[in-house]
Amino acid sequence: MDSKDHEDRLVMLGVNGGPVIAPGEAQPALALVVNNAVYLVDCGLDSARQLIHSGLGFGPVRSVFITHHHFDHTSGLPGLLLHGWTARPPLSFLDLWGPPGTKAKARNLLAGFEDDISLYQAGGGFGPFPAVEGHDVELPADGTITPVMEDENVVVAATRVFHGPEVADSYAYRFTIKSTGKVVVFSGDTAAHDANLIALATDCDVLVHETQDNSAVERIAAGLPGPQAAELTKHLFEAHSSVLELPAIAAAAGAGKLVLSHYTPTVQPPEVWLAMVLPAAEKAGYTGEIVAPAALDVIPL
């Protein structure tokens, strides 16, 4: 095994945001690897395949932390369980954490797959199907940072972030790695500048923040019928963060490194995102490292 396989790291399984599938891209799924255990933040459609492509596999997966109930962040959950069961080594157990509704989602993830599973149980030579434990994370309305989970590797806390008025519960997560004290914060989907997120990310080592190209929003909207264009533009502008705003957020939080993720609304090469954000960093006075990753990129911690 490569020595790097023992290092704590971020593996950017999927960095493309939104419900529209783009050729060659993977939807939101970020793997925090600590002491060879994998903690997933969100689980978009391609998560199972990306775990294989990354070399992580299914066996080390401990938990999934859902930021909110948009299906580009959750549609990979059935595949994670089904294909994780048949993998070698298999996924044996999954803790699923997220906003209210997560516990019910865990109970209903495989509705309609019972016959498919029973056929493989009868003739496939596979072991017990992975058990899933769902946890509804209840956060106070005032944005208080709240403990979520702790195990031998990490301490996880969360806060509310704003992702549009129609999303009642959208969360950001803070992971503190026990062995090193390093802190990694995941913004989830949120509009800038979110005071709760900045408080959660204070003095973190790595801030992984969603990003949007607002000029592309306007280009897309120009090709849509008037009411549809107005609705889409309103949602994207009020519920997401412009790439140009991110360095100021990282500076306000004192984040050591800013990692871009959840690229919307169009697919663009990482170097294009970097070219947009670097002048904004200079303007904001942010001097930390900025990374614009592609899917499957590995970021050491």
What are the pLDDT digits (tens) for 202-235? 999 999 999 999 999 888 888 788 788 888 888 8
- Residues facing residue 136 across a β-bridge: 98
Is residue 1 scored above 50 in pLDDT?
Answer: no
Residue 5 is classified by DSSP as G
Identify the pLDDT of residue 219.
85
| Domain boundaries along the sequence of the chain | 3-300
Q: Which fold has domain 3-300?
A: Metallo-beta-lactamase; Chain A (3.60.15)
Q: Which two tokens stand for residue 39?
A: 């903690």
Q: Is 125 exposed, middle or buried (0-12, 13-18, 19+ CB in 10 A)?
A: exposed
Q: Which two tokens stand for residue 43?
A: 């689980």
Identify the pLDDT of residue 4.
60
Task: Give residue-wise pLDDT tens across range 15-61.
Answer: 999 999 999 999 999 999 999 999 999 999 999 999 999 999 999 99
How much of the chain exceeds pLDDT 70, in percent? Answer: 98
Task: Give residue-wise pLDDT tens across range 110-128.
Answer: 999 999 999 999 887 898 9
Q: Which two tokens stand for residue 209?
A: 């923040």
Q: Which two tokens stand for residue 228?
A: 């549809």
Per-residue CA distances from 72 to 15, 28, 45, 276 (Å) = 11, 7, 7, 25
279-289 average pLDDT score? 98
133-157 average pLDDT score? 97
Is residue 158 scored above 70 in pLDDT?
Answer: yes
Structure pTM? Answer: 0.96
Task: Determine the Cα–Cα distance for residues 174 and 287; give it in Å rounded to an integer.
Answer: 22
Backbone angles phi, psi at 38, to 5 degrees: -110, 125
Identify the pLDDT of residue 293.
98
- Which residues have CB under 8 Å from 192's CB, separation 6+? 241, 242, 245, 246, 248, 249
Task: Determine the Cα–Cα distance for residues 210 and 68; give it in Å rounded to an integer.
Answer: 13
Task: Determine the Cα–Cα distance for residues 260 and 63; give it in Å rounded to an integer.
Answer: 22
Question: How many residues in total does the chain contain?
Answer: 301
- Which residues have CB under 8 Å from 20's CB, separation 6+? none
pLDDT averaged over the chain? 95
Identify the pLDDT of residue 34.
98
